[in-house]
Amino acid sequence: MSHTSSPGSAGGFGSSQSRPRKNEEHTHLLTTATTAVSVKQVTKQFGDFTAVKDLDIEIRDGEFFSMLGPSGSGKTTVLRMIAGFEPVTSGSIELHGTDVTNDAPFDREVNTVFQDYALFPHLTIAENVAYGLKVRKVPKAERDKLVMESLEQVQLTQVAHRRPSQLSGGQRQRIALARALILRPRVLLLDEPLGALDKQLREQMQVELKQIQREVGITFIFVTHDQEEALTLSDRVAVFNNGKIEQVGSPREVYEFPQTEFVAKFLGTTNLLPADLSGDLLGESCVHSVRPERVHLIDPTAPVENGTVALSGTIAEAVYAGPNTKYLVDTDRGVRIIAEKHNSHTPSTAASVQRGDRVNVSFRFDHATPIPGSAGDASARTAA
């Protein structure tokens, strides 16, 4: 029997207890919340291949937690083990303090939203949303009421009698969310649910998804390979690589203070200064990360300000990208540095520097972040 609470019970979908929390209340709750999901020393093997190795995660109740990493890093495998779709090879999984390692998926207080939405094409939208309630034999009057509340939650009451094929990708995504949330799971698992949407719609859905999560107040565990998506949505991010977690922290922590070279490179674009160059410039012989938005181009004849570093070089490429322009500078020290400049000038103003121009790249000492434990090498490394 499923442990999931009845959709019609107090605190059900659409009740006063699922109204939006104030932002400051949400932040406070995260700092004091109990653990929703515990993954303890979990290993998953497929034959001779180890997909996940000795993994430990503690996910707090009510937080938006993202598992970010490249393809094959193990993030989706972990999600499937939490859902019960994949058995663990060793280790244990707990949901709100209860060991569910050997429980079937329908006996876990979780629901999953997939990238392909998995809507029934022959059912109307209302029938799709009501499906789980019907399986659990919720009375029709109560079922209809909860369905309309759910559709109102995602602002799609007007499509209740349409078929999935008559909806846009964004609308189908919201219906999949409504169908999952109507059962009031304590944890919602989302496997790259925005991956099939175009950029503009994906960005719109990111905002809506975060708003829905804050309103219903349950734990969201979100799998993605999109760095910007993870930074935009998450309370915390776990960065996966080769079946292990390289770093867990808030979006700001993992972006501003990467603990490994992989995290620095995978989260956006960065300049990795080799240990020998860092020693000469910064007095600390380890690899440093400097984000392009903190690198400035200055006249090579201009004096260097106190607390800053300047390297002379030649602009190899200037890449215009709408709101920003990226400059790839080959420095005289053999290191290519990327500088990113916000295009705040008037549209008719020509770029002040061009490919082939001599410049100095400059950044402040405190904008260079040391990578703990990095040995570095003498080669130039710019990661995008």
Lateral strand order in the sheet of 64-68: 110-114, 187-191, 219-224, 64-68, 236-241, 244-249
Residue 171's pLDDT is 86
Q: Residue 382: what pLDDT? A: 54
Residues 356 and 210 reside in one and the same domain: no
CA distance 214 to 139: 29
Question: Which of 226, 248, 263 delimits the end of a domain?
Answer: 263
In a domain, 1, yes or no: no
- Of the residues 203, 228, 263, which one is the last residue of a structural domain? 263
Same domain for 282 and 240: no
The number of folded domains in the chain is: 2
| 281 and 252 within one domain | no
- pLDDT reported for residue 338: 97
pLDDT for position 297: 94
Backbone torsions φ then ψ of 308, nearest 5 degrees: -125, 160
Answer yes or no: is 302 within a domain.
Answer: yes
End-of-domain residue from the set 263, 282, 299: 263
- Return d(Cα 379, Cα 336) in angstroms, integer: 10
The answer to whether 189 and 111 have CB atoms below 8 angstroms apart is: yes
In a domain, 324, yes or no: yes
CA gap 156, 148 in Å, rounded = 9
The per-residue pLDDT for 375 is 58
Considering the domain architecture, whether residues 235 and 359 belong to the same structural domain is answered as no
> For residue 36, which of 191, 236, 182 has the smallest C-alpha distance?
236
Task: Of 338, 366, 182, 146, give the one whose Cα is nearest residue 256.
Answer: 366
- Residue 19: predicted pLDDT: 33
Q: What is the pLDDT of residue 26?
A: 45
pLDDT at 374: 67
Tens digits of pLDDT across the chain (384 residues)? 434 333 333 333 333 333 333 344 444 444 445 999 999 999 999 999 999 999 999 999 999 999 999 999 999 999 999 999 999 999 999 999 999 999 999 899 999 988 777 888 999 999 999 998 888 899 999 999 999 988 888 888 899 999 999 998 888 888 888 888 888 899 999 998 887 777 887 888 888 888 889 888 899 999 999 999 999 999 999 999 999 999 999 999 999 999 999 999 999 899 999 999 999 999 999 999 999 999 999 998 888 889 999 999 999 999 988 889 999 999 999 999 999 998 877 676 666 788 999 999 999 999 999 998 765 543 445 555
How many residues can be counted in the chain? Answer: 384
Question: Which pLDDT score is estimated for 383?
Answer: 56
Residues 275 and 224 in one domain: no
Q: Domain limits at 147? A: 16-263
- Asked if 289 and 172 sit in the same domain, the reply is no
Q: Which pLDDT score, from 0 to 100, does residue 13 have?
A: 30
Please check whether residues 75 and 44 belong to one and the same domain: yes
CA distances from 321 to 236, 324, 341, 357, 359 (A): 29, 5, 10, 20, 21
